A and B are shown apart, each in its own frame.
Chain A
Amino acid sequence: MSETEILDIGELDQEAWQDYAIEQGWSDGLPLVMPTEASVARMVAAAHGDNEGFAPISPRQVIPTLQSLAANAVMAGAKAEYFPAILAGLRGILDPSYNLHGSMATTHSCAPMVMINGPLRQALGVNCGTNCFGQGWRANASIGRAIQLILLNVGGGRPGVMDRSTQGSPAKYAFCFGENEEESPWAPFHVRRGFAAEDSVVTVMSGEAPHNINDHGSTSAEGLMTTFAHTIAQPGANTIYGKGPYMVVVGPEHAATFARDGWGVDKLRDELWLRARVPLAHISDENLATYAATGHHPTGDFLTIARGPQDIHIAMAGGPGKHSAFIPSFGGTAVISTRVKLPA
């Protein structure tokens, strides 16, 4: 990685540029947009509302400049107006409780989950509905990808070098979605965390890719909870010993059923805390011995995968269909929400 902020790379056509960028180690494997001075300047101009400095980025531990961050956003294919949301997400990731160094160096498959709330979702065209975790939306794809490229290029989280993930995850390309506030029966996630409804907020967590929760048959909150709890209670969860948070992203049809039966977010969290526990019979004797030796003792006949209801975070996203999702975390991390600073 060069220590010069501006590089003269000579005259390169598209193909030569892609080869050059890949040789530098700048790519996630996909083609990159060239971060010319002009395109980076347009991106930087969109961040005029945000003058706060940044902490060093692990594992390389260097302080980024607004230009180097913008260069990664350009390369990811982001529009300039996405940049404030990218910066808000990065600020959350740089909060010490996120544990970026640990989550980058781990063998676990965690990636930065990015969820957007507030009016910016609609302004930027962030998909909160059908296929919200999937492909097809530039904002979702390039905001998530920009954050990953920043961690690769400024942070130095190179796969196989300082990113030691055993298998990685498709979520490491891009993992960004919006909450479907308009169809949710509950208050928006950011409002429940103390922000104003008119604030735009980016929430991050070091998480696995979403695990599907399919329940087409249950027509009651009680029935759905049985499926949710047993899907979430996995003996292979990182949080069975590295206790920490997890997200449950409820699909709109499941959310409507919970709400019809009078279940709010607090009730969901409380019930998941009590029921989404792993029976000791599902855990090998060797693992039980290891967990005991490292201070992770059973609660009755179960091991919990969280420290309490406060570790369980509920949001609503997706479109029609009887599916929801569980997003386990790395464990030693936190769910961090940051208000997007927009130009006045």
Chain B
Amino acid sequence: MRIVNPGFGITPAGAEQATEGKVDWLNDPIVLFGNSKPNARELLEGVKAKLGLVRRTDNIDFIAKTSASQGAPLDMINDAAKKYRIALLALGD
């Protein structure tokens, strides 16, 4: 019995793929990317404090997208990608 796969889809040509690279978790710059929801900043500050127990924190910065419901502007993402090796997102509200 043959059926059409309801989950079938085609990956767009030229779609960006994450590239694997070496990351120095103790020294590379990190951006803590907030989603503008209440308590996102507090959550990320907690992450920074925890990271401070195991690595340097002078190159850990915060940025936040401008709208809680809209995606971050492309420029903001590109700038962060250029400047930082690691990005951590606020996953909770």
The segment out of A30-38, A226-234, A265-273 that lies at the interface is: A30-38
Q: Digitize A1-28: 1 where CB-to-B-CB distance is under 8 Å, 0 elsewhere.
A: 1111111111110000000000010100
For chain B, the count of residues having a C-beta within 8 Å of the partner chain is 21
A40 at interface, CB cutoff 8 A: yes
- Is the beta-carbon distance between B8 and A67 smaller than 8 angstroms? yes
A35 to B10, CA, bound (A): 19
- Is the beta-carbon distance between A294 and B10 smaller than 8 angstroms? no
Q: Which of B8, B11, B12, B69 contacts A102 (CB 8 A)?
A: B69
B21 at interface, CB cutoff 8 A: no
Scan residues 1-42 of chain B and give those whose CB is less than 8 A from a CB of chain A.
1-12, 15, 36, 38
- Is the beta-carbon distance between A68 and B69 smaller than 8 angstroms? no
Q: A11-B1, A36-B1 are in contact. Are A4 and B8 (CB under 8 A)?
A: yes
- Is the beta-carbon distance between A153 and B1 smaller than 8 angstroms? no
Q: A107-B93, A290-B38 are in contact. Are A5 and B70 (CB under 8 A)?
A: no
A244 to B1, CA, bound (A): 47
A37 to B38, CA, bound (A): 49
B75 CB to nearest A CB, Å? 16
| Residues of A with C-beta under 8 A to B36 | 294
A100 CB to nearest B CB, Å? 10
A128 at interface, CB cutoff 8 A: no
A154 at interface, CB cutoff 8 A: yes
A34 to B2, CA, bound (A): 10
Q: Looking across the interface, which residue of chain A has its beta carbon closest to that of B41?
A: A293
Could you list which residues of chain B lie within 8 angstroms of chain A, going by C-beta atoms?
1-12, 15, 36, 38, 67-71, 93
Jot down 8 A-B pairs with beta carbons below 8 A, ordered by A. Answer: A7-B3, A26-B7, A34-B3, A36-B4, A60-B9, A61-B11, A65-B8, A70-B4
